[in-house]
Amino acid sequence: MADGMALRMARSRSELLDVIVEPVFIPVPLAPGRWRERGFNQSELLARGLALRTAGEVRTDVLMRVRETGSQTQLTPGERLVNVHSAFAVPEPRFAGIRGRSLVLVDDVITTGATLNACAAALLDGGASHVRYWTFGRARTDADRP
């Protein structure tokens, strides 16, 4: 399904591709336990599909999940922030590869933005100049109309 999702995302030609000439896609990393459970990282599959369609590059060695976090699905927005706080980092040897670069953080869905914001903070701490998000979907909120 990820390839079809990436195709739809690329067809949308997000405005971010108008400002980033050679996109560097950074998938949100899964916790090792979650990866073993699934056998794949959906964000990485989306990032690879986007890279194929946009002449971009995928970097899976830049952003690391440095601690296991619980599932976010049943958490309140505040609990989600606490859950992912300091859960991601860029290893110091990878700083040079992102210093001054504009990066595109890829995830399947955004709910509150807690995970994406925690990832972006780590990338910015690692030297990235800009971090943009690209997700396939957005979870419904109370503000959405039925």
Quickly tell me which residue has 């860029």 as its tokens: 90
Quickly tell me which residue has 């369609």 as its tokens: 53
pLDDT band at 63 (very low <50, low <70, confident <90, very high): very high
pLDDT > 70: what percent of the chain? Answer: 76
How many CA atoms lie less than 13 Å away from 111 in the CB half-sphere? Answer: 13
All domains in the chain, ordered by first residue: 2-138 (3.40.50.2020)
DSSP label at residue 61: S
Q: Edge-to-edge strands of the sheet including 57-58?
A: 57-58, 24-27, 102-110, 130-138
pLDDT tens-digit series, residues 3-59: 776 766 666 766 656 666 678 999 999 888 888 888 999 999 989 998 988 888 999
Q: How far apart are CA 110 and CA 139, in angstroms?
A: 6
pLDDT band at 60 (very low <50, low <70, confident <90, very high): very high
pLDDT at 113 over 90: no
